[in-house]
Amino acid sequence: MTDRTPLLIVGHGTRSAAGVAQFGALVERIRRRGAVADVEGGFIELSRPPLTDAVGALVGRGHRSVVALPLVLAAAGHGKGDIPAALARERQRHPGLRYAYGRPLGPHPRLQEVLAERIDAALDGADRAGTWVALIGRGSTDPDANAEVTKVARLLWEGRGYAGVEPGFISLAEPSVPSVLERLRRLGARRIVVAPYFLFAGVLPDRILAQSREFAADHPGLDVRVAEVIGDCDDLADLVLERHAEALRGDIRMNCDTCAYRVALPGFADKVGRPQTPHHHPDDPADGHGHHHHHQHHHDAPALRPGQVAVVGGGPGPDDLITVRGRALLDAADVVVADRLAPAGLLRRLRPGVLVVDAAKVPRGPSMSQDAINDTLVAHARAGRRVVRLKGGDPYVFGRGHEEVLACAAAGVETVLVPGVSSAVAAPGLAGVPVTHRGVAHEVTVVSGHLPPGHPDSLVDWAALARARGTLVLLMAVDTVGRIAAELLAHGRAAATPVLVVRDAGHPGQWTARCRLDEVGALATRDDVRPPAVFVIGPVVALAADTTPAPAAVSAQG
Ligand code: SAH
Per-domain boundaries in the chain? 7-105+235-249, 109-226, 309-421, 425-555
Q: Answer whether residue 536 shows pLDDT above 90.
A: yes
Q: Answer whether residue 282 shows pLDDT above 90.
A: no
Range with the lowest mean pLDDT among 13-17, 68-72, 130-134? Answer: 13-17
- The Å distance, Cα 334 to ligand 1 centre, comes to 26
Q: Answer whether residue 92 shows pLDDT above 90.
A: no
Give 11's DSSP letter: E
Helix H or strand E encompassing 533: strand 533-537
Q: Answer whether residue 476 shows pLDDT above 60.
A: yes
Of the candidates 309, 339, 307, 343, the residue with the CA atom closest to the CA atom of residue 323: 343
Helix H or strand E encompassing 487: helix 481-490
Collapse the DSSP code of 42 into the 3-class scheme (helix H, G, I; strand E, B; otherwise coil) and give the result.
strand
Q: Answer whether residue 547 shows pLDDT above 50.
A: no
Collapse the DSSP code of 174 into the 3-class scheme (helix H, G, I; strand E, B; otherwise coil) and give the result.
coil
Range with the lowest mean pLDDT among 69-83, 220-234, 522-536? Answer: 69-83
The residue-averaged pLDDT of 487-507 equals 97
Q: Answer whether residue 124 shows pLDDT above 70.
A: yes
Q: Which of 312, 322, 341 to mutate to test the pocket of ligand 1 (most atoms within 8 A of CB)?
A: 341
Q: Are 418 and 326 in contact (CB under 8 A)?
A: yes
Q: Is the CB of 471 under 6 A from ligand 1?
A: no
The residue-averaged pLDDT of 426-450 equals 97
Q: Is there a catalytic annotation at residue 368?
A: no
The residue-averaged pLDDT of 384-388 equals 93
CA pair distance 499, 112, nearest whole angstrom: 70
Q: Answer whether residue 286 shows pLDDT above 50.
A: no
Q: Are 515 and 537 in contact (CB under 8 A)?
A: no
User: Residue 293 — very low, low, confident or very high, per pLDDT cuts 50/70/90?
Assistant: very low
Q: What integer pLDDT is reported at residue 390 of this predicted model? A: 97
Q: Answer whether residue 545 shows pLDDT above 90.
A: no
Give 101's strand partners.
68
User: Residue 84 — very low, low, confident or very high, per pLDDT cuts 50/70/90?
Assistant: confident
The model's pLDDT over 352-374, given as tens digits with 9 standing for 90+, comes to: 778 999 887 444 445 568 898 99
In this prediction the pTM is 0.52
Q: Answer whether residue 290 shows pLDDT above 70.
A: no
Q: What integer pLDDT is reported at residue 75 of this predicted model? A: 85
Q: Answer whether residue 381 shows pLDDT above 80.
A: yes
The model's pLDDT over 179-193, given as tens digits with 9 standing for 90+, comes to: 999 999 999 999 999
CA pair distance 146, 46, nearest whole angstrom: 24
Reply yes or no: is the peptide bond before residue 434 cis, omega within 30 of 0. Answer: no
User: Residue 285 — very low, low, confident or very high, per pLDDT cuts 50/70/90?
Assistant: very low
CA pair distance 479, 395, nearest whole angstrom: 23
- Tell me which of 200 and 551 has the higher pLDDT: 200
Tell me which amino acid residue 311 is: V
- The Å distance, Cα 219 to ligand 1 centre, comes to 70
Q: What integer pLDDT is reported at residue 275 of this predicted model? A: 59
- The burial class, CB within 10 Å (0-12 / 13-18 / 19+), for 4 is exposed
CATH number assigned to the domain covering 7-105+235-249: 3.40.50.1400
Instruction: Please identify which of the residues 151, 368, 476, 528 carries the catalytic annotation.
Output: 476
Q: Is the CB of 202 under 6 A from ligand 1?
A: no
Instruction: Please identify which of the residues 339, 391, 394, 504 carries the catalytic annotation.
Output: 339
The residue-averaged pLDDT of 283-301 equals 37
CA pair distance 428, 505, nearest whole angstrom: 8
Give 556's strand partners.
513
Ligand 1 atom closest to 534 (CA): 15
User: Residue 326 — very low, low, confident or very high, per pLDDT cuts 50/70/90?
Assistant: very high
Q: Is there a catalytic annotation at residue 339?
A: yes
CATH fold of the domain at 109-226? Rossmann fold (3.40.50)
Give 164's strand partners.
132
pLDDT, the chain, mean: 89
- The architecture that CATH gives domain 309-421 is 3-Layer(aba) Sandwich (3.40)
User: Residue 549 — very low, low, confident or very high, per pLDDT cuts 50/70/90?
Assistant: very low
- Tell me which of 493 and 89 has the higher pLDDT: 493
Q: Please tell me the residue having the least CA distance from ligand 1 atom 6.
A: 393
Of the candidates 354, 143, 148, 150, the residue with the CA atom closest to the CA atom of residue 266: 143
CA pair distance 116, 197, nearest whole angstrom: 11
Q: What is the dihedral of CA 328, 333, 335, 338, to 10 degrees?
A: -10
CA pair distance 166, 143, nearest whole angstrom: 17
Q: Would you tell me how many other CB atoms lie within 10 Å of the CB of residue 367?
A: 14
Q: Is there a catalytic annotation at residue 361?
A: yes
The residue-averaged pLDDT of 468-479 equals 97
Decide whether 7-105+235-249 matches 109-226 in CATH topology.
yes
CA pair distance 273, 259, nearest whole angstrom: 11
CATH fold of the domain at 425-555? 3.30.950
Tell me which amino acid residue 512 is: T
DSSP letter string, 381-425: HHTT--EEEEESB-TTSSS-HHHHHHHHHHTT--EEEE----HHH
Q: Is the CB of 394 under 6 A from ligand 1?
A: yes
Q: Answer whether residue 304 shows pLDDT above 90.
A: no
